[in-house]
Chain A
Amino acid sequence: MMTGAAAIAAGGAGSARQPRNAALPAVIFAIFALMPAFAALTAQHYLVDTGTRIIVYAVAAVALDLLVGYGGLISFGQAAFIGLGAYAVGILSAAGIGDALVSLPVAIAVSMAFAWITGVVCIRTKGVYFIMITLAFGQMVYFLATSLAPYGGDNGLTIDARNTIAGWPVLKNDTAFYYFAFLCLLATYLLCRALIASRFGRVLRGTKENATRMAAIGFTVQRFQLIAYVIAGGIGGVSGFLLANSTEFVAPAYMAWQQSGELIVMVILGGVGTLDGAIVGSAVYLLAEEWLSGLTENWQVIFGPFLVLVVLFARGGLIGFCARLRLRHG
């Protein structure tokens, strides 16, 4: 689908040739770690809620960046995994099972299983066809959820209480929940970093640069892509687990295709193929939404053109833009 020159240009804007700033993730995670303390000092408790929201979406966005930025697999169905994870929590809770030791593994397993089954079909297609078929499977789960009449159907279902951890209701406390989500994000980030640095990651990046060549060297390209897809799906399930617990509510809207679109926007906005960018992107997106919606009801009228400007003038997303600014000014 993509011509050779375009592929090289895209690669240049992506990860492989961009010098990675090792201090950036440290700064990002330090800010997240200190945020509740800052919120408590300035008595702005809503910051913890906002921070939780950012972290929940950042988990899914980091996984999506693993697919998009390193595997060249543009999935338009990432929200489906969030939804599956969330519904796993909701349905288990409705059945009286409200412990994270059960529901978190189930959320991950369900998402991974769905990713495995659909991935076998998706991976056969390339480029835009891949985008569309992942969208199709996402839509199927979405409509399936709307028909789950025993679990609220269109309206969704309320969860009685947040999950306990081995019977200990620690997550009831918003700050404790924030740090739990923070640990999930940290684990996700470290896992993805390790994957990318491993042999698996190098092969995956190779398939993005030139799948034919990787196949010629002797790698089963589709197997590597499928594994990446399943891993990203499982992490999406974690994000869904966190989302369901933080809002104590599950609805089909979590997996509407617009949600998948927003996740892609977050990844590209921050800078695709950096992992850090996915976190920065979710933070900027959700903060901009909160700030602009305070200014005007139709905040998208400002945010839409901003996205266009980012694409036109800040290649490589916000991280790429800042890196170039730094280069220019020494």
Chain B
Amino acid sequence: MTATLFFVQVLNGLQLGVLLFLIAAGLTLVFGVMDFINLAHGVQYMLGAYLAVAFYGVVGNFLFALIMALLASLAFGLLLEFLVFRHLYERDHLDQVIATFGIILFLNHAVRMVWGAAPLTLPMPDAFTGSVLLAPGQLYPVWRLVIIASGIAVAGGLYLLVTHTRIGMLVRAGATNARMVSALGVNIKRLFMIVFGFGTMLAGFAGVMIAPIISVEPGMGTNILILAFVVIVIGGIGSIRGAFVAALLIGLVDTLGRSFSIDVLRLVMAPSPARTVGPAIASILIYVLMAIVLFLRPAGLFPARGR
């Protein structure tokens, strides 16, 4: 376990963390402001990646594909909101779970029908295909650094948006008490729609950014959705700041756990059992973390007030 390897894994952890943040930000806002459990948030991330591949196939330009995929994600999110979600805001959490579960089933398999079950790839933009030399003999792909930078930029932008603009103020007020905000004369339906569309677009953005380094396939949104839920629950539902901290925490814990669990276990047990137990422990780590956080703070690290 050299220092450079450790540093590389920390970067990988950060990259997973900002990716989770991009997805969790929309999820926690939709959850916090509208009290709406959107299980379909993960398939919107998948859809972003697919749309980018499709648009890239048309024009062959990454930036153009990115912009078009974002717009299409936004349009699709608003369409879903209009057709399904707005009828469910007043409903039980259970109704929301089953309806969005239905949307997951539909989209996962609709994507399979349109683009096939085989994994697709999205080429990176030429300017970022290279690697940087972190230490002698230790290269690191530039694109991963781009993901980290863009995630942090989005986080900064969101921070400004939420804390320093009128719409951000309404969002914060909505996360604390949506009913009161509505009573004060704010068009809450429009606010909901804006928040929802924006959240969808962020998930789509995450999907486009990660597409060049993973394979784009049906079901790619399902596991990341669970991680995003873990993030928003640890962070405290409705809190962007909580989502950011928790996303980086989960990204680092998960990545470092997977990289070093076997090495750490070898210190206390034989190599062979360490190789089988290690990955299991690494997979469990984030759930243990969540259980501990919820045991100590049943409403997450940064609970939104008034809930």
B279, closest chain A residue (CB): A147
Whether a CB of chain B sits under 8 angstroms from the CB of A217 is no
Binding stretch for chain A, among B90-98, B127-135, B240-248:
B90-98
B265 smallest CB distance to A (angstroms): 11
A124 proximity list for chain B (CB < 8 A): 294-295, 298
Are A308 and B103 in contact, with the CB atoms below 8 A? yes
CB distance from B220 to the nearest CB of A (A): 14
The answer to whether A144 touches B101, judged by C-beta atoms less than 8 angstroms apart, is no
A137 contacts B287, C-beta separation under 8 Å: yes
Question: Is the CB of B283 closer than 8 A to any CB of chain A?
Answer: yes
Q: Which of B39, B84, B102, B237 has the most CB of A within 10 A?
A: B102
Interface assignment of B187: CB less than 8 Å from any CB of chain A: no
Contacts of B103 in A (CB 8 A): 304, 308
Cβ 8 A contact of B90, one of A6, A126, A257, A299: A6
Tell me if A68 is interfacial: C-beta within 8 Å of chain B. Answer: yes
A136 touches B298 (CB 8 A): no
Query: Is B113 interfacial (CB-CB < 8 Å)?
Result: yes
List residues 257-307 of chain B with CB under 8 A from any CB of chain A.
276-277, 279-281, 283-284, 287-288, 290-291, 294-295, 298-300, 307
CB of A169 closer than 8 Å to a CB of B: no
Interface of B is mostly: helix
Q: How far is it, in angstroms, between the C-alpha of A258 and the C-alpha of B290 when the chains are bound?
A: 19
Interface status of B192 (Cβ within 8 A of chain A): no
Q: Does A41 contact B (CB under 8 A)?
A: no
Judged by a CB distance under 8 angstroms, whether B173 is at the interface is no
Are B280 and A68 within 8 A (Cβ)? no
Known A300-B108, A304-B109: A121·B291 in contact at CB below 8 Å: yes
Residue in B87, B288, B294 whose Cβ sees the most chain A Cβ within 10 Å: B294
Residues of A within 8 A of B68 (CB): none
A265 to B84, CA, bound (A): 17
Q: C-beta contact mask, B68-106 vs A, less than 8 Å → 1, else 0?
A: 000000000000000010011011111101110111111
A128 CB–B CB distance under 8 Å: yes
* Cα-based distance from A124 to B94 in the complex (angstroms): 20
Contact A301 B98 (CB under 8 A): no
B298 A125 Cβ-Cβ under 8 A:
yes
Question: A228 at the A/B interface (Cβ < 8 Å)?
Answer: no
Q: Which residue numbers of B lie inside 8 Å of A, CB to CB?
A: 31, 35, 37, 39, 84, 87-88, 90-95, 97-99, 101-110, 112-113, 179, 222, 226, 229-230, 233, 237, 276-277, 279-281, 283-284, 287-288, 290-291, 294-295, 298-300, 307
Q: Which 7 A-B pairs have the closest CB atoms?
A: A147-B280, A304-B106, A307-B102, A304-B105, A300-B105, A298-B109, A143-B283
> Taking beta carbons and an 8 Å cutoff, which residues of A are in contact with B?
1-3, 6, 9-10, 13, 68, 74, 121, 124-129, 131-133, 135-137, 139-140, 143-144, 146-147, 149, 153, 257-258, 261, 264-265, 268-269, 272, 298-301, 303-308, 310-312, 315
15 other A-B residue contacts (CB within 8 Å) besides A125-B294, A311-B98: A74-B93, A121-B295, A128-B31, A129-B299, A147-B276, A153-B276, A264-B98, A264-B101, A268-B97, A301-B109, A304-B105, A304-B109, A306-B102, A310-B98, A311-B99
- Can you give 8 contacting A-B residue pairs, CB < 8 Å? A128-B37, A147-B280, A261-B97, A265-B98, A300-B108, A301-B109, A303-B105, A304-B105
